Structures are given as structure tokens and as C-alpha cells.
Amino acid sequence: MGKELEELIEEAAEIIVGAKKVVVFTGAGVSTESGIPDFRSPGGLWTKYNPDDFTYQKFLKDPEVRKRSWQMFSMFRMMDLVQPNPAHYAVAELDKMGKLDCVITQNVDGLHQKAGVPEEKVIELHGTIKFVKCLGCRKRYSIEEIAKRLEEGGEEPVCDDCGGILKSATISFGEPMPIKETAEAERRSRECDLCLVLGSSLVVYPAAYMPIYAKESGAKLVIINVGTTSMDNYAHVRINEKVGEVMPKIVERVKSRLAS
């Protein structure tokens, strides 16, 4: 018979209290609790569209693919209305307590920063939806500016400065991972003494290597996720529950232990 939830919460809190460098690794399961759809789940975007039709290479070569991509972009224009959930605020509390080294996230929504985690402590492995970038001169545009152009009837916005192709600052299928962020995430993962995996099934690589690097380097591993993950057998604590329901309870235990 497995351990009771309360016992697992206690164990996770104890590990966090004893840790000096906590790296939090977050996936789509954290964002979905704020109402953002998970692209890969049943009913998600990739059940309605074929992701192979939207690779980085096709985006570069085919104007029709770019137009369809900008049509899909409309779902991201509401991101400013999306608010952090208890999971995001619990991670921000870890930072206030001096426990958080950094957040390594697969999410592109900027909700960790919105919840109060300092920008410099968030490593966005899959980019951000907050900006649009020119693939020619690298000029950046706000999401609001490009959304306005699309609303005014533009099918495919181009760069004002060089006429180059514009693309959201997220990482597409087939697009190289950001070199600086990926290297920094690996370094932080190898140097932490606790990796806290929240809302990720750890199936998307190379992002999912980060908890492996942490474990290889001797860090403890705590996983909170609904459903199985590829690292379950290596976790010191494994909680099969929603992150937003469990993390606030863990953080409260940590707070009370640090205060006593």
C-alpha cells in the first residue's frame, strides 16, 4: 500500500527545508491550472492541427504556413488576461524564503514572473509568447503590437526595419533550442541539491534532461504531477496530484518549520 498524501507532503517539505539550492522544473501541468490548454492532451491544439504542418522549416519556406500560424496566434492574444494559480504563487513563496535557485520552465506564458519570481531566476527553455522576433535583424515587437496589426487585417506581419519574417519568440518544432538558456539550465541542474518537478510528464527532450542532470549530480528529486513520468522510479518523493492543490500545503509546512 502506498504512502498517504499527508505523509508525502511532510516528506517533500522536509527535503525542501534541508536543501540549499532548489531548482524548480515546470511543465504544462502548471499552466493548465490557469486555464491554458495543454497542446498534447486530448482536445488540445495538436489534436486539431497536425504539428508536422507547423515546423520551423516549413514556417521559413512557405508563406501559407506562416499565414496559418498567425491565424492560430489569435489564441495567444488573450495571454495577458490569464492569471497565475496557487502553484505559481507557491513557487514564488519558495523564492521569498530564500530557497529558490531558479525556475526552469517549458511553459511560454510568463506566469512565474507574474506571480513574483524575479525575471532573472526564470529560464524559459521553449521561449516566450510575450514577444515577436524578426528572424532577419532580430528586432523585437510586443505581442500587443502584432496582435493589433492582425486585427486590422494583416495576414502575415513583417519587420518594419528590414522586411524580414516575424515569428513568435517561442521555440517551434524543428527549431534549435536557445543555446544560452539551455546551457544555463544544465549548469543550474547539475549544481542544485534538489530538483522539484512540477506538472511535467518529462517526455519532451532536451528539456526533460534537466532533472536527469540533477539526479546524476547527486540532487534529490521530488515529482508532483498528475499521471506517470519517465523519472518516477528515481524520485525520493512522488505525488500524483494537481500541483496547485499540493504545493501550497508543502510551502506552508516549509514556512512553519523554518520559523520554529
DSSP string, 216-231: HTT-EEEEE-SS--TT
Q: Looking at the structure, tell me whether residues 28 and 7 fall in a common domain.
A: yes
pTM of the model: 0.88
Q: Looking at the structure, tell me whether residues 58 and 157 fall in a common domain.
A: yes
Residue among 223, 218, 220 at smallest CA distance from 208: 223
Q: ∠ CA(106), CA(245), CA(201), 5° rounding?
A: 35
Q: Looking at the structure, tell me whether residues 142 and 214 fall in a common domain.
A: no
CATH number at residue 213: 3.40.50.1220
Q: Which of 112, 139, 170 is the last residue of a domain?
A: 170
Q: Which of 170, 199, 231 is the last residue of a domain?
A: 170
Q: Looking at the structure, tell me whether residues 158 and 232 fall in a common domain.
A: no
| Main-chain phi, psi angles of 52, to 5 degrees | -65, -20
CATH number at residue 42: 3.30.1600.10
- What would the grid cell of residue 78 be? 488573450
Ranges assigned E (strand) in the chain? 22-26, 100-105, 122-124, 127-134, 140-142, 166-170, 194-198, 220-224, 237-239
Secondary structure (3-state) at 158: strand
pLDDT tens string 33-58: 888 766 555 544 545 555 566 688 88
Q: Looking at the structure, tell me whether residues 30 and 67 fall in a common domain.
A: no
Per the CB < 8 A criterion, the answer to whether 87 and 243 are in contact is: yes
Could you give the CA distance from residue 193 to residue 176 in angstroms, rounded to a whole number?
29
Q: Which of 107, 136, 170 is the last residue of a domain?
A: 170
- Distant-in-sequence, close-in-space partners of 38: CB < 8 Å, separation ≥ 6: 28, 29, 31, 32, 44
Per the CB < 8 A criterion, the answer to whether 37 and 43 are in contact is: yes
Count structural domains, the chain: 2
Q: Looking at the structure, tell me whether residues 154 and 254 fall in a common domain.
A: no
The answer to whether residue 112 is catalytic is no
For the chain, 260 residues long, the average pLDDT of each consecutive 10-residue run is: 84 97 95 74 51 76 84 65 93 97 94 96 92 93 86 85 91 86 97 97 92 97 95 96 97 92
Q: Looking at the structure, tell me whether residues 43 and 156 fall in a common domain.
A: yes
Secondary structure (3-state) at 215: helix
Q: Looking at the structure, tell me whether residues 166 and 188 fall in a common domain.
A: no
Domain that holds residue 119: 1-35+84-126+177-260
Give the per-residue pLDDT at 32. Answer: 87
List 88, 112, 126, 236, catalytic entry: 126
Q: Looking at the structure, tell me whether residues 107 and 188 fall in a common domain.
A: yes
Q: Looking at the structure, tell me whether residues 25 and 117 fall in a common domain.
A: yes
DSSP one-letter code for 109: S
Could you give the CA distance from residue 239 to residue 241 in angstroms, rounded to a whole number?
6
Q: Looking at the structure, tell me whether residues 116 and 12 fall in a common domain.
A: yes
CA 142 to chain CA centroid, Å, is 20
pLDDT tens string 73-98: 665 666 667 899 999 999 999 999 99
| Main-chain phi, psi angles of 28, to 5 degrees | -60, -30
Q: Looking at the structure, tell me whether residues 98 and 218 fall in a common domain.
A: yes
Give the per-residue pLDDT at 1. Answer: 37
